[in-house]
A and B are shown apart, each in its own frame.
Chain A
Amino acid sequence: DAKTTQPPSMDCAEGRAANLPCNHSTISGNEYVYWYRQIHSQGPQYIIHGLKNNETNEMASLIITEDRKSSTLILPHATLRDTAVYYCIVRVGIQGAQKLVFGQGTRLTINP
């Protein structure tokens, strides 16, 4: 089972910041938080990942709470092309078992 909880859907106006929340209250100390998105039947696209500190790249920012039990993905200026299903993932398993477990994700719709 996925170790994360996300809202099933969200809407955001074009040009505004999209803030996607994720709860991962059972995260372990050495587990990273990853974000991927999937645009209509394409392969999942990597967005960003982090361990403890906030991270920023050309696509998005990742804000992780101090207790690491939740995080927020921020798309600073959403465009129509950002409409997709966004997955928040925490690595699960023991040494040697490194699979990603996907939940149902958040379907983000950017409205013109």
Chain B
Amino acid sequence: GAGVSQSPSNKVTEKGKDVELRCDPISGHTALYWYRQRLGQGLEFLIYFQGNSAPDKSGLPSDRFSAERTGESVSTLTIQRTQQEDSAVYLCASSLFGANSGNTIYFGEGSWLTVV
């Protein structure tokens, strides 16, 4: 498709289970971002991938969170041993290399995660 695609769009999981969220960036976009937004809150940066450079993981809230990216394509955000406070919408975004060069960042519609 033309935009950033995320799956699943909705996920309900039991506390303690692991979840995987997938992001397909726009074709050709080398930069990929993950954000989290809790209900009624702002967007929290989680992680950023750029080509073959080491990812910026500075926003990951705990070691239960991890993310991988295969080359310049699909990314997977994994949350292990989910907790109720992990309930949020997880947003993925992509852009051509670096917004410092003025490249627009496009967001997907998010994956809604509910931990019960």
Task: Give chain A's interface residues, CB within 8 Å of chain B.
Answer: 30-32, 34, 36, 41-46, 49, 51, 87, 91, 93, 96-105
Contacts and interface: CB of A to CB of B under 8 A. Distances in A.
19 contacts: A32-B100, A34-B105, A43-B4, A43-B91, A43-B109, A43-B110, A44-B91, A45-B107, A46-B104, A87-B43, A96-B53, A96-B54, A97-B48, A97-B58, A98-B31, A98-B100, A102-B43, A102-B45, A105-B42
B33 A99 contact: yes
Contacts of B107: 36, 43-46
B18 interface: no
Contact of A98 (B42, B43, B98, B106): B98
Nearest to A98: B98
Interface of B: 4, 31, 33, 35, 42-43, 45, 48, 50, 53-54, 56, 58-59, 89, 91, 93, 98-100, 102, 104-110
Contacts of A41: 89, 110
A48 to B, nearest CB: 9
B100 A43 contact: no
A96 B102 CA distance: 15
Query: Which 5 pairs between the two chains have the least Cβ-Cβ distance?
Result: A43-B107, A102-B43, A43-B109, A44-B107, A98-B98
A42 B109 contact: yes
B45 A101 contact: yes
Contacts of B54: 96
A98 B50 contact: yes
A1 B98 CA distance: 19
A5 B59 CA distance: 21
A99 B50 CA distance: 10
A100 B50 contact: no
A30 B108 contact: no
From A30, A46, A103, name the one whose CB has the most chain B CB atoms within 10 angstroms: A46
